[in-house]
Structure 1
């Protein structure tokens, strides 16, 4: 049995029946001579539409050095449901966009009692995605 498995593994595997893979588990896949590139630009564009960011101006800088997101107890609380939906969507997106992982992690800390500053920060991340849709790994 092991010998058959070894023979299969040593032969060149060809996917002539299936063709080239374009999508895998929600990731867009592009195969080139240099390697395999993945992105989730389609999903990012869906998020921009879903959370009504398409009319807002895109940004090229994800976080400023003076960007402060804290509990903000004096600010008005917002719906935790919508905030959690945004954060959950962004967390899924970090699979192909590690550049947003830190900022999303900071925002994720405030899911139990989000304030207006927190949703503004989450929308800023979405605006960054709008300005950088085609970055690939």
Structure 2
């Protein structure tokens, strides 16, 4: 089930955090993790019209990327944090 959800995160970035969090526990899953995965599937069933859509007649099909990073910004463990997002036209890709 997690593999199917991981595949869907390519077109449904709204479930990415929840799916990756559930995937962490695949070594020793509990009943609560199965409940969470079923809840994600119910959410997908209720929101089938959401996702990344690419318009057919998009005049602007340029690739735009944004990045942000913080060097050792966490005061507790001094870990660095970074993030990126890429758009094709007006659609978020990753």
Per the normalisation by structure 1, the TM-score is 0.37
Q: Distance in 2 between matches of 1:130 and 1:89?
A: 14
| Pairwise CA distance, 1:136 | 3.0
| Pairwise CA distance, 1:103 | 0.3
How many residues end up aligned between the 2 structures?
52
Name the structure with the higher helix share.
1
CA RMSD of aligned residues (A): 0.6
Write out per-residue CA displacement over residues 96-126 of structure 1, whole angstroms, 9 at most, x where no aligned residue. 0000000001000000111100000000000
Write out per-residue CA displacement over residues 16-51 of structure 1, whole angstroms, 9 at most, x where no aligned residue. xxxxxxxxxxxxxxxxxxxxxxxxxxxxxxxxxxxx
Partner of 1:101: 16
Higher Rg: 1
Q: Distance in 2 between matches of 1:136 and 1:114?
A: 28
Q: Contact 2:13/2:51 (CA < 8 Å) preserved in 1?
A: no
Gaps of 5+ in 1: 1-85
Per the normalisation by structure 2, the TM-score is 0.54
Partner of 2:41, secondary structure, is: helix
| Pairwise CA distance, 1:134 | 1.3
Partner of 1:117, secondary structure, is: helix
Q: Contact 2:15/2:40 (CA < 8 Å) preserved in 1?
A: yes
